[in-house]
Structure 1
Amino acid sequence: MSTPAVILWPDGRTLPLQPHLHQDSRRRGIDLYVEDARPYPLGRQATLHAGGAAGPVNNPARQAWMSLTGGSLPPVLRGPVAFTGPADRDGNLAPLPTASADVVQRAADLMDGCVYTTPFTASAAQARGERTYQCDAHAIRRDRRVGRSAFVVLDGIGATPDVHHFVQRYAPRIAREALRAGNPVKALIAARLAATADRQARGATATAVVAVLDSRHSYVHIAWCGTTRAYRASRFGAAIPLTADHVRAAQLHRHGLPAGGRAPQAWPASSIAAGSIGERFIESRRASRLLLCTDGVYGPLERLHRLGPILDSAEDAKSAAAQCVREAVAADIDPGNGTALVVDLHL
């Protein structure tokens, strides 16, 4: 059995359609609900038809998009959208496979009374290394009332008392804002605005990674700036990066200029003060163990190919965080600050 098309509204309501899916009939069917429908192929599984509506953001459609594509970030979808099967060369649409229709329905159920509950355990470990000051910081905040949690790791740029005080103040501040807004990008933007006007900052800044869990969503929302990273543990003992470093070497490479001899990690091109903010969504079921960490942890462990094995073999979040930091310090010739924050999702 298959359903040629499913209309999905922002509030989670769905409507199955049974028109013939050649081009003329599609316009008479889908376009009754989706004005100026534009098709977005979602691999070989489905096609999403979204229009230029100015209505509310269609979060169920965004979640269905991520589920069908394995986590890729969708555009902002507003108003009703339609899901069908893929199109052939003539523009005719195949029926929506049953498995894909089930994915769409599960996403719709999130806004129709069904709520994901994602209990977790989290733990962090730190080492100062051979530095005078600890210029990393982390924070974990949870609001049981709204079912939301935030996790933050900062890596101060520099090794001065001002940087130390900056990260200690801004890690919990960013976590609180991420918890309130439910959006790590907004939390980093708010921190940037606050730091600009903060006389106590004295020019200090840090790179950052922030993750937000929300019981209404089936995904983890991640944002970052600079070279602080997030990873997920895979089933095969690998650590899969969820972030892409903002580094000056990459910027120079894009403009065809020589990057020089220093390691890219030494030149963050973004921070809380200025620069790009990256964003990523990852389905919770694909991220049973998350790691947020600074370069003092991932640098030595990636060189030794130990990051994945540690995440795979550690018994719990506390053991994983402690082992990451312990082995990173032992492996580095000149160990610096290192912080690892591990989150285990109990799905």
Structure 2
Amino acid sequence: MEVGDVDADAQVRLGLVAGAGASRLGRRTINADAFATFTDARLGRSAFVAADGVGDHLAAARAARLVARVAARVAVSEGAHTGILAAQRELLRGLPESSADSVLVVAVLPSSGQWDGPCDIAWVGDCRAYRWNGRVLHRMTTDHTVAEYFRARGRDPLPGMRHLVTTSVRTARPDDIGRTATGSSAGRLLLCTDGVGKKLGMPIIKSILAHGASAGHVAEMLVGAALGRGGTDNTTALVVDATR
């Protein structure tokens, strides 16, 4: 099953994995966020992607939809990092204009015979991945932004620097792509665009992910909370539940 740039809940289920997403337009002219899922029943694996087009225009929206779709389809069999590289090749081929660009985060859950194995995660830009294990919320990614660049060097960034990304699908070299993995895939995983991650602090995200509702309802709660707290950016959340 594959889903991209939709405004309503979209769901994927495979064995003990259930995922659903929600995306809402902020105070923008267009929703340039997208999310996608792809399940390979033969491998028993699912890939999940949240993408955020760079800019508030149609080229950004098209880029986000394209890279989310391609990254999910390739990552499910070849891994999250390879999925991003495939998305880059397709973006450069299909949308050559420089204004068509996106950031994204990709997560691949292990095959159905390895439910407790690690979840493979890769990203560029400031889309984020969080994991809730039932007790502790872990943020799995670090923003690729000018603000984080200065923080890593012990310097205080200016407020606007948190929105300036240093990597994107169009510009990233293979070594620029962030990579990590969870110790276990069991629990609740959140992939989100910065409209959610930068508007909601860890305590709020934790309280919502700890809610016993379905993945789809939790995704709606997250985007609603971000907009309800004055968020103006587009908001997208993709929630994945993996049980033992």
TM-score range, shorter chain: 0.7 to 0.9
Partner of 1:194 in structure 2? 90
**CA deviation after TM superposition for structure 1 residue 280, in Å:** 1.0
Structure with the larger RCO, 1 or 2 (CA within 8 Å, 6+ apart): 2
1:284/1:345 contact within 8 Å kept: no
Question: Tell me, which stretches of 5 or more residues in structure 1 are unaligned?
Answer: 1-116
1:319 aligns with one of 197, 212, 217: 217
- The answer as to 2:119 corresponding to 1:223 is no
Sort the Cα spacing of 1:260 and 1:327 in 2 relative to 1 into closer, same or farther, 3 A.
closer
Quote the residue 2:56 is aligned against.
159
Answering whether residue 142 of structure 2 is matched by residue 244 of structure 1, we say: yes
CA distance in 2, matches of 1:154, 1:343: 16
Dislocated runs of 4+, deviation >2 Å: 193-203, 249-261
2:139 & 2:224 partners in 1: Cα distance? 21
Alignment deviations for residues 280-317 of structure 1 (CA, whole Å, 9 cap, x no partner)? 111335x41000001111222217x3110000014121
Q: State how far apart, in whole Å, the 2-side matches of 1:253 and 1:202 are.
A: 29
Are 1:142 and 1:150, in contact at CA under 8 Å, matched by a contact in 2?
yes
Counterpart of 1:152, as a letter, is V
CA separation of 1:257/1:322 partners in 2, compared to 1, >3 Å: closer, same or farther?
closer
Aligned counterpart in structure 2 of residue 273 of structure 1, from 145, 166, 170: 170
Partner of 1:282: 182
Partner of 1:244: helix, strand, or coil?
coil
% of aligned pairs identical?
32
- Aligned 8 A contact 1:247 1:268 in 2: yes
- What amino acid is the match of 2:103? T
Root-mean-square deviation (CA, aligned residues, Å) is: 2.1
Q: Which amino acid aligns with 2:220?
A: A
**Alignment gaps of 5+ in structure 2:** 1-13
Larger radius of gyration: 1
Name the residue aligned to 2:11. none
| Counterpart-to-counterpart distance in 2, 1:256 and 1:308 | 28
- In structure 2, relative to structure 1, the CA distance for the partners of 1:254 and 1:336 (3 Å cut) is closer
- Give the number of aligned pairs: 225
From the superposition, tell whether residues 235 and 166 of structure 1 become closer, same or farther in structure 2 (CA, over 3 Å).
Answer: same
Q: TM-score, normalized by length of structure 1?
A: 0.60
For 1:85-104, list aligned pairs within 5 A. Answer: none
